[in-house]
């Protein structure tokens, strides 16, 4: 019964996402990003020996890095998917960022989020470098460098196919972020 609220909140969010939130400006994107980050949070919360609020331990700090990264990378991918599917969302009368503010605004917002994630990863890599050189190098090479390349691809992207490719690249970055947990 411990943490049953997580399940109830998740069910509530998923039901309302599918019926309402996905058509609302930014709320659908936030809902999916929160639910994705919440999965990591729930796994740690159910481990009695792991105190997610004890920031004196590097592993707890690293846990929060993964939660925050998960949230932002999912949010970025959701917005890219909205740009990719602008025609379908328009037909469905969805109010997505690219439809309400334009594709260029959506791209600029993604750049801003990519910048936040990149600075966050640089800071994290520097901070954890003394604890775990392999993890820091892995994150740099398989997450940070690809995010820079994704930014360049995003700048040149013009059609749905190119935005779909970017979405796929972000999936790979997410996968490498997950794989990096091996080095903890």
pLDDT digits (tens, 9 = 90+) for 19-56: 888 888 999 999 999 999 988 877 777 776 777 767 67
Q: Which is more confident, 181 or 165?
A: 165
Predicted TM-score (pTM) of the model is 0.90
Residue 40 burial (C-beta neighbours within 10 Å; 0-12, 13-18, 19+):
buried
Q: Would you say 128 and 84 are in contact if contact means Cβ atoms under 8 Å apart?
A: no
56-101 per-position pLDDT tens digit: 776 777 888 889 999 999 999 999 999 999 999 999 999 999 999 9
DSSP class of residue 95 equals -
Domain boundaries, the chain: 4-183
- The torsion region of residue 93 among left (phi > 0), alpha (psi -120 to 50) and beta comes to left
pLDDT at 47: 74
Model confidence band, residue 130 (pLDDT cutoffs 50, 70, 90) = confident
pLDDT averaged over every residue in the chain: 89
């Amino acid at each position: 019964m411990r943490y049953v609220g997580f399940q109830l909140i998740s069910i509530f969010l998923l039901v309302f996402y599918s019926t309402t939130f996905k058509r609302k400006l930014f709320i659908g994107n936030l809902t999916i990003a929160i639910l994705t980050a919440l999965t990591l949070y729930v796994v740690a919360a159910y481990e009695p020996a792991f105190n997610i609020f004890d920031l004196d331990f590097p592993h707890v700090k690293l846990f929060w890095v993964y939660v925050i990264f998960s949230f932002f990378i999912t949010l970025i991918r959701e917005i890219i998917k909205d740009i990719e599917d602008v025609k379908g969302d328009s037909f469905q009368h969805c109010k997505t960022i690219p439809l309400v503010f334009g594709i260029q605004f959506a791209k600029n917002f993604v750049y801003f989020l990519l910048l936040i994630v990149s600075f966050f990863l640089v800071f994290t890599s520097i901070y954890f470098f003394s604890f775990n050189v392999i993890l820091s190098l892995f994150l740099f090479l398989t997450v940070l460098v690809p995010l820079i390349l994704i930014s360049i691809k995003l700048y040149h992207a013009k059609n749905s196919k190119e935005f779909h490719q970017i979405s796929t690249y972000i999936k790979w970055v997410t996968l490498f972020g997950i794989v990096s947990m091996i080095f903890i």
